[in-house]
Amino acid sequence: MTALRHRILVIDDEPQIHRFLGPALDAAGYEPLRADSGQEGLRGIALWSPDAVVLDLGLPDMDGKEVLAKARAFYDGPIVILSARDREVEKIEALDRGANDYVEKPFGVGELLARLRVALRQSARAPAPTGPIRAGDVEIDLEKRLVTRGGTPVKVSPKEYDLLVRLALGAGKVLTHKELLVAVWGAAHAHDTQYLRVFVGQLRHKLEADPATPKIILTEPGIGYRFVA
């Protein structure tokens, strides 16, 4: 029996993007779906229930961030932004509105496919795990609220633990500064990015083999952090 292919809806008004990306998705084992405007994309999400969405921000009928916000009212699958807008504020706003990731145009198809694979794996996971989360020799036991490295317990403060777990549960997804600050410290600290950097630095010194070259908690410059499980 042939396995069902993941359906990927590409919402973009550039015909050349569809001509290029459609065959690339098909060759990678996906079923590509097409929409050329925001309204068409929203209808496509509602009608086809795709496994993931690739969304351009510069659409002819509405801004892609508006499409994202409207889609998130009824769709919880992965949405990867694909856009020529390279300003950090655009990326941050899209991620804060619920995008899973952001790829800039011009892009390499290999990078986009890799981001899609990560987003699909994350979406396929069961709701918040209760068992251990592992990254290299680091293990986070959610039931015992215990962090170990190489089997040895690591002493972390309550806030360090909360931050680490929030990062770990979003494994593979870019989490913005604001999202992390609000989740761990509350809305009053939504803009205390320096505060967040200090805590991330502390976690890296406790968990990374080389804190100067982290492999577990990665920085997305100007945007936030990504946990690599």
Same-domain check for residues 206 and 138: yes
Range of the structural domain that residue 13 is part of: 7-124
Q: Taking each helix axis from N to C terminus, what angle separates 158-169 and 177-185, rounded to the nearest 10 degrees?
A: 130
Q: Is residue 36, in this structure, part of any structural domain at all?
A: yes
β-partners of residue 135 are: 138
CATH of the domain at 42: 3.40.50.2300
Q: 50 and 94 share a domain? A: yes
**Domain tally, the chain:** 2
- Which residue, among 198, 175, 178, has the nearest Cα to 190 in the 3D structure? 178
pLDDT at 125: 53
Give residue 52's pLDDT: 94
Domain boundary among the residues 78, 98, 124 is at 124
pTM metric for this prediction: 0.62
**Which residue in 61, 73, 69 sits closest to 12, CA to CA?**
61
Any domain includes 109: yes
CATH value at residue 188: 1.10.10.10
User: Do 109 and 140 belong to one domain?
Assistant: no
Q: 65, 97, 124 — which closes off a domain?
A: 124
- 71 plus 153 within the same structural domain: no
pLDDT averaged over consecutive 10-residue blocks of the chain (229 residues)?
Answer: 76 93 94 95 91 93 91 87 79 84 86 89 60 89 90 92 90 83 80 90 95 93 88
169 vs 164: CA distance, rounded Å: 9
Alpha carbon distance 178, 170 (integer Å): 14
Q: Is 142 in the same domain as 220?
A: yes
- Domain boundary (76, 100, 124) is at 124
Q: Do 197 and 156 belong together in one domain?
A: yes
Is the residue at 2 inside a domain?
no
- On the 0-12 / 13-18 / 19+ scale of CB atoms within 10 A, 25 is buried
Where does residue 143 fall: left (phi above 0), alpha (psi -120 to 50 degrees), or beta otherwise? alpha
